[in-house]
Amino acid sequence: MPIDAIRLVSAATVPWRRLRTALVCALIVTLPLTLVWDSVWPLWSTAALLATAGTLAFSLLERWPRRLPPWVARWALQVAGVALAMPLTTLAIYLLRTPVDAPPFWTDAERRSGFFLLCFFGTLVAPWLALSALVRQKDALARTQALAFELERSELARQALDARLHLMQAQVAPHFLFNTLANVQALVDTGSPQAPALLRSLTAYLRAAVPRLHDAAGASSGTLGQELELVRAYLELMRMRMPDRLAFTLRSDAALLDMCCPALILLTLVENAVRHGIDPAEEGGRIDVSVCRRGDNCVATVRDTGVGMGTGSGTGLATLRERLALHFGGRAQLRLYAVTPHGVCAEIEFSVGA
- How would you write the pLDDT of the chain (354 residues) with one tens digit per residue? 454 554 544 555 567 888 898 899 888 888 888 888 888 888 989 999 999 999 999 999 988 888 888 888 999 999 999 999 999 999 999 999 888 888 888 888 888 998 998 998 889 899 999 999 899 888 988 988 898 888 888 887 777 777 666 666 666 556 666 766 776 777 777 777 766 777 777 777 777 776 665 554 444 557 888 889 889 888 888 887 788 889 999 999 998 998 888 878 888 899 889 888 898 888 889 999 999 999 889 999 999 998 887 655 556 788 788 888 878 878 889 999 898 888 999 999 988 865
Nearest alpha carbon to residue 58 among 156, 137, 153, 157? 137
Instruction: Return the pLDDT at 7.
Output: 54
Cβ–Cβ under 8 Å, residues 304 and 344: yes
| pLDDT score at 10 | 54
CA distances from residue 272 to 86, 157, 242, 312, 326 in whole angstroms, order as listed: 83, 32, 16, 9, 21
Q: What is the pLDDT of residue 216?
A: 42
Strands 246-252 and 285-294: parallel
Residue 217: its pLDDT value, please?
45
User: How is residue 34 annotated by DSSP?
Assistant: G
Enumerate long-range contacts of 287-290, CB under 8 Å, 24 or more apart.
Answer: 287/235, 287/246, 287/247, 287/248, 287/249, 288/248, 288/249, 288/251, 289/228, 289/231, 289/235, 289/248, 289/249, 289/250, 289/251, 290/250, 290/251, 290/252
pLDDT for 218: 46
Find the farthest-apart pair of alpha carbons in the chain and give their distance in angstroms, rounded: 122
Q: Model pTM? A: 0.52
Burial class (CB in 10 A: 0-12, 13-18, 19+), 156: exposed
- Nearest alpha-carbon partner for 180 in 250, 235, 248, 247: 235
Q: How far apart are CA 157 and CA 162, in angstroms?
A: 9
Q: Is the dihedral of CA 223, 225, 226, 232 positive or negative?
A: positive
**Rounded distance, CA 148 to CA 152, Å?**
6
SS3 66: coil
Of all helices (H) and strands (E), which one includes residue 95?
helix 74-97
The H or E element that residue 148 is part of is helix 109-189
Q: Output the CA–CA distances (angstroms, integers) from residue 57 to 21, 30, 46, 82, in the order listed.
A: 15, 20, 16, 6
pLDDT for 168 equals: 63
Residue 145 and residue 86 in contact, taking contact as beta carbons nearer than 8 Å: no
**Residues facing residue 346 across a β-bridge:** 302, 336
Whether the Cβ atoms of residue 237 and residue 202 lie closer than 8 Å to each other:
yes
Sheet strands (E) in the chain: 222-223, 246-252, 260-261, 285-294, 297-304, 332-338, 344-351
Residue 259 in contact with residue 298, Cβ under 8 Å? yes
Give the sign of the dihedral formed by CA 305, CA 306, CA 308, CA 314. negative
Q: Could you tell me if 115 and 98 are in contact, meaning their C-beta atoms sit under 8 angstroms apart?
A: no
